[in-house]
Amino acid sequence: EVQLLESGGGLVQPGGSLRLSCAASGFTFSNYAMSWVRQAPGKGLEWVSAMSGSGASTYYADSVKGRFTISRDNSKNTLYLQMNSLRAEDTAVYYCAKHRGAIVVVSPVDYWGQGTLLTVSS
Amino acid sequence: DIQMTQSPSTLSASVGDRVTITCRASQSISSWLAWYQQKPGKAPKLLIYKASSLESGVPSRFSGSGSGTEFTLTISSLQPDDFATYYCQQYNSYPRFGQGTKVEI
């Protein structure tokens, strides 16, 4: 059974940093691309960042480019999102999501974690 | 960037109704489109991928169609469990979601 368990959310002041983690199990982690998707309170889904299974390719939404860094440790079956220079508009539930294939494009997201809440506020 | 536009934003319907949601892409995405269902406080669930392929375990009352820039999600006979928000997502390039359609009573 595929399981994705996010952790690391919390309350951070504007300008601060935080790292989210996603522990994966139930599948061969290195064979699949992974994404982070967020949802601000009462709003729709916003894709944030993605990484191919090998880690060779990374993608970022314009809203986070230069501030967020996605990474993965395939030996630990874990996906990360390092978030710097946080803003109030980054407040959201952050979901870890698995793609159906090893590459990000032409590969839909087929499993989601339950999410971790990040609140950016003074 | 490829923009995704869903309509309507909100849809009022009754149990047993046939419901159709439309998603338009700002440029051709071939058939690289997925549909997700999300209920309050829960993670999204994949319903349809590659525009018209039904995900395993999803009831057959859900169907998808379209290619290029225009796509539809149809629920043939709305059930109480189907009241939720639905999102389309293109994955021809890096993923992009539509703004969502809330199906309410």
pLDDT category, A59, cuts 50, 70, 90? very high
Q: For residues B91 and B4, give the distance between their C-alpha atoms in angstroms, rounded to a whole number.
A: 11
pLDDT tens per residue across span B76-86 = 999 999 999 99
Q: What backbone torsions phi and psi does residue A35 show, to the nearest 5 degrees? A: -130, 160
How many angstroms away from the CA of B51 is the closest CA of chain A? 11
Average pLDDT across chain A, whole number: 96
Best interface-test mutation with A: which of B4, B49, B94 has the largest number of A CBs within 10 A?
B94
A109–B46 CB contact, under 8 Å? yes
Q: How many CA atoms lie within 13 A of B5 on its CB side?
A: 6
pLDDT category, A105, cuts 50, 70, 90? confident
Which chain B residue shows the shortest CA-CA distance from A5? B43
- The 10 Å CB-count burial string (b at 16+, else e) for B65-93 is ebeebebbbebeebeeebebbbbbbbbbe
Average pLDDT across chain B, whole number: 96
CB of A40 within 8 Å of any CB in chain B?
Answer: no
Q: For residues A115 and B100, give the distance between their C-alpha atoms in angstroms, rounded to a whole number.
A: 19
Judged against a pLDDT cut of 90, whether residue B105 lies above it is answered with: no
B96–A47 CB contact, under 8 Å? yes
